[in-house]
Chains A and B, each alone.
Chain A
Amino acid sequence: MSTDNVQPDVDDESSLLSVDAWDRIKHTERFIFLISVGFALTFSYLFSRAPVISDVTQGYHGLTITILIWSIFALGFNLLLGQTGLLSFGHAMFFGTASYATALFSIHVFNEPLTIVVVGVLSAVAVGVVAALILLRLHTVYFAIVALAIGQFLYFLASNPLEGITKGINGLEVERTPLLGIVELDHQYRGILGELVVNNLYLFVGVFFVAVVMFITRIRKSPYGLIFKAIRENETRASFVGLDVWRYKFAAFLLSGGVSGLAGALLAVNTQFAGVERLYWSISGDIVVMAVLGGLGTIVGPIIGTFVWFYFRGIVNGFPTLGDYWLLMLAVSFTAVVWAYPDGIWGMITSLTEELRDPKALAAKVKARATGGSDAEGSDGGER
C-alpha cells in the first residue's frame, strides 16, 4: 500500500535494470503516462490491423474506440467501488444522462464535439449531486439498490413521460461537426499515423482516455485519494480520525459520476446517437461485471475487464456455435471471480508474477500459512 505515495528517484542509473528499479519506475506517474499514451497509440493497430496477433479481430477499428470509451466508464465506476468501497448498481444514470445532455445540447444549442462533451460531463455531475444527497445516507446494499432504483427511475422517466424530449426508443441523433470548427473528426490519416490511429475520432477519444488514466492516477497517489481508501477500509475509523467522511464520499461520488458521464458523452459523439437504453439497468450491470472481472481498485484491471467483455461481445459473439454462449460465459466467469478470486484478472496476473519473481517469499508464505501464521497479509492482493 505504501508504494503509492512514494515518488522514487528514477535517476539512479546504477540499478536501472534491477527488479527494484522496475518496481519504483512502474509506479511513477511519468511511466504510467508513457504507457497509457503508448497503449492508446498502438491499441487499434495491434487489435484490428497487426498481422501477428489474431485474424478474428481484423478490421474491428470501430470496436477499439468503443473499448476505450467503456474503459473510461469502467475506470470511473472503479473510482467509486474499488477506491472508496461504494457499490453503485445505477451507474447508467450518469452514462445515459450525459449521453442525452450531449445530444440535446448539440441539437438545440451549439454543436461542437468538445463543448458537448463538457456539457455531458457537467450534466452527469449535476445528476450526481442530487443522487448523492439521497444515496450517501445509505450503506452497502441499501446504497447499491437505491442507486439502481434511481437509475431505473430515470430510465422510465426518459422512456415514457419525457418521450417528447428524448424521442423514446428512437433516440436522438448527434450530428458530427469539426472539432473547434477546424479539425474533421472523420479525417482519415495516411502513412504511419493512418496505420496507428486511422482517424481523428480515435485520437479524440484516445486523448480523453489518457487524460482519465492520468487523472485517476493523480487521485490515487494524492493524499486525497488515500482518504478514499481509508473510508473504504474502515469508515468509522476514518471519521474518528477527524475526517468528514460524508464530504469525501460526496467528492468520490461526483468524480466517479463525472468520469462515467464523460464516457457517456464520448459514446454519443462516437455513435452519433443517444438512446434510452443507455439508462437501463443492464448498462449498470455490464459496468459492474467489467470492473470486477478485470480487477477492482487498480488502473489496469477495469481496462482489461472492458477489453474481455467487448472481446466476447464483439468477437466471440460471431463464432459459429460458441457465439450464443458469450454472455453466459462472461456471467459465469464473473461469478467465479467474485466467489474465489476477488482481485480479478489483473490480480491473478500480478500475484502470479510476484510469486514467480520471488520464490523464497513464496516458500515462506506457504510455510507461514501451514503453521497458521497470519502475517501473510499485505503480501497478496496487489496494490489497490
Chain B
Amino acid sequence: MGSRTIHETANSVWFEVAGMTLDAAVGFVFIALSVASLYLLVAIGLSIVFGSLKYVNMAHGVLYLGGAYIGLLIASSEEYGGLLSEYGAIGLDLGFVAALILTPIIIFVLGVAMERFLAKPFYDRDLLDQLLVTFGVLIAAQELFAIVFGRTGTIYPRPDWLSGAISLPVIGTPPGLSAASTIRVLVVTLTLLLIAVIFAFFKYTDYGLAVRAGTEDSEMAEMLGIRVGRPFLLIFAIGAAYAGVAGVLGGSLFNVTNSIGMEIIIPSLVIVIMGGVGSLRGTVVGSLLAGFVFALATVVEPSMTQASIYLLAIVVLTIRPSGIYPSAKIGQ
C-alpha cells in the first residue's frame, strides 16, 4: 500500500514521541486509528457476508477499487491514461464531500448486482470455489480498470479544509489535536459512526434480527415465514457501500491505482480470519490490533511496517487457530 505519507508522518511523530508530548501521542493514536478504520470499513462487509452467508468474497476488493475511482470521478476532473487518455480531463468536479455521499450509493447498487449475479449462484458451492471465482473476478476487474484508466496512479486532490491540523469553527484547533491531520480525524470519526450504525442495525432493526435468525438457521427462519433472502441482500449491499466509502477515504490517504483492490483485500481478509469469522467484534478488534501494530512498526522499526500486520496475523493464528473470537454469533 502506498504508505509513504504514513511513513513520513510517523517518522516525524517519532521524534516528538521521544519528547513524550501529548500532541505526538495523539498523532500516533490517530495514525493507528485511521489505518484501522480503513481496514475495518473493508473488513466489516467481508466479515458479515462470510459469517452470515458463508460466502468468502475476494471480489469485495472490486468495491473498494470501484469506490476509489468513482469517488475520484465525482470529486475532481483528472486526465487518465488507458482508453480514457484521448478524452482529456474527465470528472464531475463536485468536490470531496459529494464524492463521500454519492459513491456509497453507487457502490450500494453495485453491491446489489454483485449479490444477485455473483454471490447468489455460489452460496451452495464449495468455499474454495467461491474463493477462486471471486479471485478471478477481482483480477479481471483490476485489469479492466487498468485498461480504462491506465496503470499510473492518481492522487485525490485534497481540499484546503482537509489538509493540515483540524480546525473547528468557533474553538479553532481543539487542545491536543494539533498533530492529528484533518483527513485522519475525518476517517476515524466517520468509521466510528458507520460501525455504530451497523451494530445498531443488527441489534435494533427487524432486518438485523432476520439476518441473525438466518445466520443461525436459514431453513428454520424461512419456515417461520421470514424471507431471509432480502435481509441478506441488504446486508451484502451495506457492506459493499462501506467498502465504497473506504475506497474514497483510502484513495485520499494513499494513491489510487488499479491494483489497490487486491492490496486492500489481502490484509482485510487476514483481519477477518484473525478476528474470528462471523464475529463483528472480532473484526473490530482485529482491525484495531492491525492498526496499532502498523503504527507501532512505523515508529519502532519502519522497515517492518508492511510485514508487521502479517506477522501479527501469523502469531495470533498460531496461538488461536480459530481467531480471537472463535465462532461467535453474528452481531456480537
Contact = CB atoms under 8 A, between A and B. Distances in A.
Interface of A: 87, 89, 134, 137-138, 140-142, 144-146, 148-150, 152-153, 156-157, 159-161, 163, 281, 285, 288-289, 292, 324-325, 327-328, 331-332, 334-335, 338-339, 342
B131 interface: yes
Given A325-B147, A328-B143, 19 more contacts: A87-B131, A134-B318, A137-B321, A138-B317, A140-B127, A141-B127, A145-B270, A145-B273, A146-B317, A149-B266, A153-B307, A153-B311, A156-B307, A159-B306, A160-B307, A161-B307, A163-B303, A334-B139, A335-B140
Interface in B168-219: none
Contacts of A332: 136, 140
B248 interface: no
B314 interface: yes
A339 B129 CA distance: 8
A328 B147 contact: yes
Nearest to A142: B273
Interface string B266-310: 100110010001000000000000000000000001011111001
Contacts of B269: 145, 148
Given A141-B127, A150-B310, A160 B136 contact: no
B140 A331 contact: yes
Contact of A149 (B136, B262, B270, B301): B270
Contact of B140 (A145, A281, A292, A328): A328
Contact of B139 (A142, A156, A160, A285): A285
A324 B147 contact: yes
Contact of A161 (B143, B277, B303, B321): B303
Interface of B: 50, 56, 121, 127-129, 131-133, 135-137, 139-140, 143-144, 147, 262, 266, 269-270, 273, 277, 301, 303-307, 310-311, 313-314, 317-318, 321
Nearest to A334: B136
Contacts of A141: 50, 56, 127-128, 131, 273
Contacts of B139: 285, 289, 327, 331, 334
Contacts of B131: 87, 89, 141, 144
Contacts of B135: 89, 285, 288
B301 A153 contact: no
A338 B314 contact: no
A195 B252 CA distance: 57
Nearest to A133: B318
B303 A149 contact: no
B268 to A, nearest CB: 10
Contacts of A157: 307
Contacts of B321: 137-138, 142
Which 10 residue pairs of A and B lie closest in terms of their CB atoms, listed nearest first? A335-B136, A153-B310, A156-B307, A331-B140, A156-B306, A328-B143, A160-B303, A331-B139, A161-B303, A334-B136
A335 B133 contact: yes
7 contacts: A87-B131, A141-B128, A148-B269, A149-B266, A150-B310, A325-B147, A331-B143
B266 A152 contact: yes
Nearest to B263: A281
Contacts of B310: 149-150, 152-153, 156
B136 A338 contact: yes
Contacts of A281: 262, 266
Contacts of A156: 304, 306-307, 310
Contact of B317 (A134, A159, A328): A134
B128 A161 contact: no
B296 to A, nearest CB: 15
B128 A144 contact: yes
A148 B133 contact: no
Contacts of B266: 148-149, 152, 281
A334 B305 CA distance: 34
Nearest to A153: B310
A100 to B, nearest CB: 16
Nearest to A146: B317
B115 to A, nearest CB: 16
A165 to B, nearest CB: 13
Contacts of B311: 153
Contacts of A327: 139, 143
B307 A140 contact: no
Nearest to A135: B317
A328 B132 contact: no
Most chain B CB within a 10 A radius of its CB, from A141, A288, A324: A141
Nearest to B130: A141
Given A87-B128, A138-B317, A138-B321, A338 B143 contact: no
A332 B140 CA distance: 6
Contact of B136 (A134, A163, A324, A331): A331
A145 B140 CA distance: 20
Contact of A338 (B133, B303, B304): B133
B64 to A, nearest CB: 16
Contacts of B307: 152-153, 156-157, 160-161
Nearest to A292: B132
A292 B305 CA distance: 34
B105 to A, nearest CB: 27
A153 B50 CA distance: 24
Contacts of B137: 331, 335
Contacts of A149: 266, 270, 310, 313-314
Contact of B314 (A153, A288, A324): A153
